Structure 1
Amino acid sequence: MPIFPGPARLFVSVATVFVLSACAQMDMHRGGHEPATHAGHAGHGVNMGAPAAASVALAARTVVDVTPQESAHVLGDMQNLLRSVGEINGALAARDWTTVERIASSLRPEKTMGSQEPAAMSFHAKLPAGWSSFGAPMHQGFARIADEARGGQRVDEVLRTLSQTTRQCVGCHAQFQLRAALR
């Protein structure tokens, strides 16, 4: 039996993606090098970073150097994905299958791949091996959600697929770190 039942499991998955996205953005602003600090009394810095074991795991991520334009493109995509997950959750709670299908369909692989924007093209040209092993299944998951919204309309199936889909996000954030060049 899962630790978290149905809706709670989905909330935990979405919250995890949100936290990892925020961490990725913070890593990019710091260049992925220094732990976050908070000035304490008498000017002493207090480390606000993760525990040592988590720091080692984060340090082991593959760094992908990006331009500010590529960074803006990727973070925009991540924010859209996170917003879409939230909207799907809300529509699913209301049993608004038309909205679930519309949002999930907009994230199908054929709708999201092949952008001709210069930042998207340059970013995709430098993707390291393994990146697509997270991105493609994530977009395929949204396609399955759209299909379920049009067909079976089973809440448990959408939640299961959404959980699997967001695990792709979590896995990618655990594997890769974007580092924006300062210009």
Structure 2
Amino acid sequence: MGRILAVVAGAFLAAGALLGCTEPGGAARPEAAQPLSDERDAIPLSDAERSLVLAEMRLMLESTEGVVAGLASNDMRAVEQAAARSGLGASGTVDQTMHASLPEAFVHMGAAAHGGFDDIAILAREGAGVDAVTMRLSQTLSQCTSCHAAFRVERHD
């Protein structure tokens, strides 16, 4: 159960990073108001491309939420369904033609994360235990964290 709590805590931290790190009520933290140096590689995207990438990230976060909820209630069918929504072949993921405009490392990290969700769905379907699924989820979230640490999306005109 301790692993599940660690995964949940990691998911909430990732959500905070994805949503702009604001305090409850939407007010920015004081330290966030000061300009910070962001050494991550910028990925310049049009508004439409940026929206697609961010929607895909939200989908993976929603899948993580569903996997954790399924694990908490020992409902492996729910785990499988939640994970499958973010697998490699899932609808709602970035169009293959857009991959050419994205850095190769970003594409590889994204594919590894989507593959992780496929693995989670397979583990759940094949009756793997909570510990095995939680371990694979942890590895998948590590891919997400590595990608967010390396890249940031920016609007370009």
Higher relative contact order (CA 8 A, sep 6+): 1
TM norm structure 1: 0.72
Structure 2: where are the runs of 5+ without partners? none
Q: Report the residue type matching 1:175 in the other structure.
A: A
Q: Residues 47-86 of structure 1 correspond to what in structure 2 (within 5 A)?
A: 47-49=30-32, 55-56=36-37, 59-86=38-65
Classify 1:6/1:88 alpha carbon distance in 2 versus 1 (closer, same or farther; 3 Å): same
Give the corresponding residue for 2:111.
Answer: 136
Matches within 5 A, 1:33-112: 47-49=30-32, 55-56=36-37, 59-111=38-90
CA RMSD of aligned residues (A): 2.9
Task: Give the partner amino acid of 2:52.
Answer: H
Aligned counterparts of 1:156 and 1:104: Cα–Cα separation in 2? 16
Other-structure match for 1:166: 141
Q: Is the 8 A contact 2:43 2:102 kept in 1?
A: yes
Q: Distance in 2 between matches of 1:126 and 1:5?
A: 40
- Residues 6-25 of structure 1 deviation map (CA, whole Å, 9 limit, x = unaligned): 1221122212221221239x
CA displacement at 1:88 relative to structure 2: 1.2
Q: Distance in 1 between matches of 2:34 and 2:2?
A: 28
Q: Report the alpha carbon displacement of residue 104 of structure 1 after superposing the two structures with TM.
A: 1.4
Does the CA contact (< 8 Å) of 2:44 and 2:155 recur in 1?
yes
What secondary structure is seen at the aligned counterpart in 2 of 1:110? coil
Distance change in 2, residues 1:169/1:132 (3 Å): same
The letter for the 2-side match of 1:49 is A
Partner of 1:12: 9
Which stretches of structure 1, 4 residues or longer, exceed 4 Å deviation after superposition? 112-115
Unaligned 5+ segments in structure 1 are 27-36, 39-45
Once the 2 structures are TM-superposed, how far is the Cα of residue 113 of structure 1 from its aligned partner? 8.7
What code does the residue aligned with 1:96 have?
Answer: D
Q: Which amino acid aligns with 2:11?
A: V
Structure 2 length as normaliser, TM-score?
Answer: 0.82
Aligned AA (1:146): A
Match of 2:19 among 19, 22, 31: 22
Match of 1:179 in 2: 154
Aligned to 2:43, the other structure's residue is in SS state strand
Q: Distance in 1 between matches of 2:59 and 2:48?
A: 17
Q: Secondary structure at the match of 1:49?
A: helix
Q: How many residues align?
A: 153
Percentage of identical aligned residues? 27
Aligned CA distance change for structure 1 residues 110 and 122 (closer, same or farther; 3 Å): closer
Inter-partner Cα distance in structure 2 for 1:153 and 1:50: 45
